[in-house]
């Protein structure tokens, strides 16, 4: 079977059997197309160490960051794993070692800046109530912006302090509501007069129907309030997800619990937050260690 057909079947396998999102499948398609376009081969058996070496050089010289290079390599490695699973001879997936990438910097804002951000949507108009609810919900649950945008009114049961959300890879996890998030949702829903099933909708004058807010719209709204709050750093829904995780860790939560709350499939992804707890431990060490020797 030719590589073109195997490529097509692998993407179908990701979508149907592995339950990956269409966005993930599109990304894998793009990553693999780059490799096939570079290698100019027609069969899986032609993938060898020399082609891999030249491909890595091409990625590195193409101006891509190490982390981005790894996305391309991971896609190829997973494709090779798929070939091995099907019993199709090719390069062993273990031959692909990832590039050493620098540790990712977390985009964080201070607690004071966070407080100013929450206070930015002023008044009790429907837009302000909606926007305050979005901010509270993002910080209370650590939701991804796509997960927030897809929520329906009946997703959130105010009789409970928790609800289920379907995240990446169609995985369902439970998230929890803080008292302030719960109160914000109640005030917002009490003010709603439309019949849209979406939890967050766009209020445009003269619109014939209420449309669900898109992730991009939510990002723009949060950027607006960050500027209004006088925050010079770039603030996105993902920054609030970071703040959610670091808040838990600095208050004593363990990494495995934070992994479950964020919906990370691998603890490795959650480990980007360990420097936060490391700093907290460093502060404790500095404050309490060796005092009798001074």
- The single residue of 77, 144, 182, 242 carrying the catalytic annotation is 144
**Do 155 and 196 touch, CB atoms closer than 8 A?**
no
Active site residue 132: no
- Structure-derived torsion over alpha carbons of residues 115, 118, 124, 125, reported in degrees to the nearest 10: 150
Q: Which residues pair with 173 in a beta bridge?
A: 165
Active site residue 144: yes
The owner of tokens 């793009």 is 30
- The single residue of 7, 182, 241, 242 carrying the catalytic annotation is 241
- The single residue of 116, 168, 173, 192 carrying the catalytic annotation is 168
Active site residue 168: yes
**Do 242 and 108 touch, CB atoms closer than 8 A?**
yes
Active site residue 238: yes
Active site residue 192: no
Distance CA 270, CA 253 (A): 13
User: Which residues make Cβ contacts (< 8 Å) with residue 154, sequence separation at least 6?
Assistant: 197
Tokens of 6: 């195997």
Distance CA 88, CA 118 (A): 55
Backbone φ and ψ of 166, nearest 5°: -95, 115
Active site residue 13: no
- The single residue of 31, 55, 225, 273 carrying the catalytic annotation is 273
User: Which residues make Cβ contacts (< 8 Å) with residue 183, sequence separation at least 6?
Assistant: none
Positions annotated as catalytic residues are 144, 168, 238, 241, 264, 273
């Amino acid at each position: 079977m030719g590589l073109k057909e195997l490529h097509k079947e692998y993407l179908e396998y990701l979508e149907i059997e592995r339950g990956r999102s269409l966005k993930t499948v599109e990304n894998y398609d793009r990553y693999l197309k780059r490799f096939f376009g570079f290698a100019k081969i027609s069969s899986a058996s032609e993938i060898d160490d020399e082609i891999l070496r030249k491909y890595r050089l091409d990625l590195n010289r193409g101006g891509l960051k190490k982390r981005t290079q790894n996305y391309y390599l991971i896609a190829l490695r997973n494709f090779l794993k798929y070939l091995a699973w099907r019993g199709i001879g090719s390069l062993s997936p273990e031959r692909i070692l990832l590039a050493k990438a620098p540790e990712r910097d977390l985009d964080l804002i201070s607690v004071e800046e966070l407080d100013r951000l929450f206070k930015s949507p002023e008044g009790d108009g429907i837009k302000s109530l909606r926007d305050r609810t979005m901010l509270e919900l993002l910080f209370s649950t650590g939701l991804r912006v796509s997960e927030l945008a897809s929520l329906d009114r009946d997703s959130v049961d105010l009789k409970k302090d928790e609800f289920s959300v379907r995240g990446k890879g169609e995985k369902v996890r439970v998230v929890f509501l803080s008292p302030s998030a719960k109160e914000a949702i109640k005030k917002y829903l009490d003010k709603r007069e439309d019949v849209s099933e979406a939890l967050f909708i766009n209020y445009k004058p003269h619109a014939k129907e209420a449309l669900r807010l898109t992730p991009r719209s939510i990002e723009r709204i949060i950027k607006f309030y960050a500027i209004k709050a006088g925050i010079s750093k770039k603030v996105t829904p993902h920054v609030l997800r970071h703040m959610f995780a670091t808040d838990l860790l600095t208050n004593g939560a363990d990494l495995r619990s934070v992994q479950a709350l964020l919906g990370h499939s691998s603890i490795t992804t959650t480990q980007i937050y360990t420097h936060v707890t490391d700093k907290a431990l460093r502060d404790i060490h500095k404050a309490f260690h060796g005092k009798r020797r001074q």
